Chain A
Amino acid sequence: MLAAAQAGASWACTIIWAEYAPAVSAFLAARGSREPEDLTSDVFIAVFDALPGFVGGESELRSFVFTIAYRRLVDELRQRSRRGEPREWTPETDPRSDPSAEDEAVDRLGDAAALSLIDGLPEDQRNVLALRIVADLTIDQIADVLGKRAGAVKALQRRALDSLRKQLSRDRTLLPSTDDSDE
């Protein structure tokens, strides 16, 4: 299949796309891409263009795909940081309006809230966790994608998880308790 894809067979490229595109799109969304759908298509066009020069097996192919995805993401994030982020005004996002309790609940339960889990982490830790949780990459594969040593990736992962645990513990402490027995 891989050889056929390298030769340009569209059916083989379709299999690669079907296998990796969901995880690539999810990784890009988790890392804050504004248009993960379009960026995923760009990633796979680049993958298919670079595929004839690829050497390796299935494990290396996964690293190969996510290396391209990571580089495309970095490009997008850099462009956004240079140009600034234009935001479309909507009544719901206007901070001057008083959000209803229902809106707050929806926001808290929504996908954006879930994806904001890693927003408070340093960029390296966000990358490691996104690649580990969403892309299902191993420590060694992440090391290949990010160009780091495996030991460094392990340390980043541990520190990221420790930070998240502390953050969640702090949030739970700040929530009003309904149990009076603790007081």
Chain B
Amino acid sequence: MRKHRISHDDASALVKGEASATRPDLVPLADAIADFRIAAFASPLRPSAELTARLELAETSGISQEASPTWRAETIKVRARVTDSPAPVLGKVKKMFAWFTGLGIAMKVALGLAVAAAASVTGVGAVVAYNEIAPTFEQEQVTPTDDPTDEETTDPTDPDTFGTSVSERAHELGKDSDGAAFGEETSEQAQQLGDEHAQNDEHAQNPEGTNPAPGAENAENGKDHAPDLPDVTPGGDDTDD
């Protein structure tokens, strides 16, 4: 029995691994050709060192083989878009990397030392800048505020800081001021402050007023501050004593 001859259309379908519905006798041949095609694309594909030097293989290294031309075409289009658009930037980076990898060990060590030296200089500069800036920053941080608990502020009505307040005032008055008048004024303030503070404490500790010695301790506080006065009195004139 003579079989049909393979037409041009049949051949075109067969080389793609297909057989037309009107030629079921060609199905085994189409299957064999499809297997042949798949087997041919199964071999690995890695460029040689010489060829690699002429390619940019960051995105395309390890390209997989595939028998389907449609799949390959789509893959290549995508790969081409990826490789094509960023080529100017990526190319420079890759060329730098390729240039660096091509250097000898001595040159790489020298480059590494240079980079380390640059990093050290930058680090020292950063430390110096910090040392210059930090004090200013800390001064800004301790700018006087209105906080009543601030230790730097002295309240002349506070028995605990009364002595300090008097000292500051004595410095402000200077040598030309009248030391006797200043001492007398300070003594009166101290006495007054001691009395007020004693009354407050008595009221706080014994609201019924049973404390027999009201304000004695705080009065002593006021007097305790008084002996400091001659030390800070500018004139040192003790004629009133």
Contacts and interface: CB of A to CB of B under 8 A. Distances in A.
B57 A117 contact: no
Interface string B12-31: 00110100000001101100
A117 B45 CA distance: 22
A22 B66 contact: yes
A111 to B, nearest CB: 4
Interface residues of B, number: 50
Interface of A: 1, 9-11, 13-15, 17-19, 21-23, 25-27, 29-30, 36-38, 40-42, 44-45, 48, 110-112, 114-115, 117-118, 129-130, 132-134, 136, 154, 157-158, 161-162, 164-165, 168-169, 172
Nearest to A137: B15
8 contacts: A1-B84, A15-B84, A21-B47, A42-B48, A114-B32, A154-B8, A158-B8, A165-B3
Given A10-B55, A13-B54, A14-B57, A111 B42 contact: yes
A41 B36 contact: no
B15 A132 contact: yes
B88 to A, nearest CB: 9
Contacts of A112: 39
Interface in B86-111: 87, 90-91
Contacts of A111: 39, 42
A14 B51 CA distance: 10
A19 to B, nearest CB: 5
Given A18-B83, A165-B25, 11 more contacts: A9-B87, A10-B54, A10-B91, A11-B84, A14-B57, A18-B80, A26-B65, A117-B32, A133-B17, A161-B11, A165-B29
Contacts of A15: 76, 79-80, 83-84
A161 B29 contact: yes
B36 A13 contact: no
Contact of B32 (A10, A22, A154, A168): A168
A114 B39 contact: yes
B180 interface: no
Nearest to A16: B55
B72 interface: yes
B139 interface: no
Given A45-B54, A118-B36, A158 B6 contact: yes
B232 interface: no
Nearest to A109: B35
B46 A37 contact: yes
Given A14-B55, A136-B69, A115 B36 contact: yes
B143 interface: no
B84 A30 contact: no
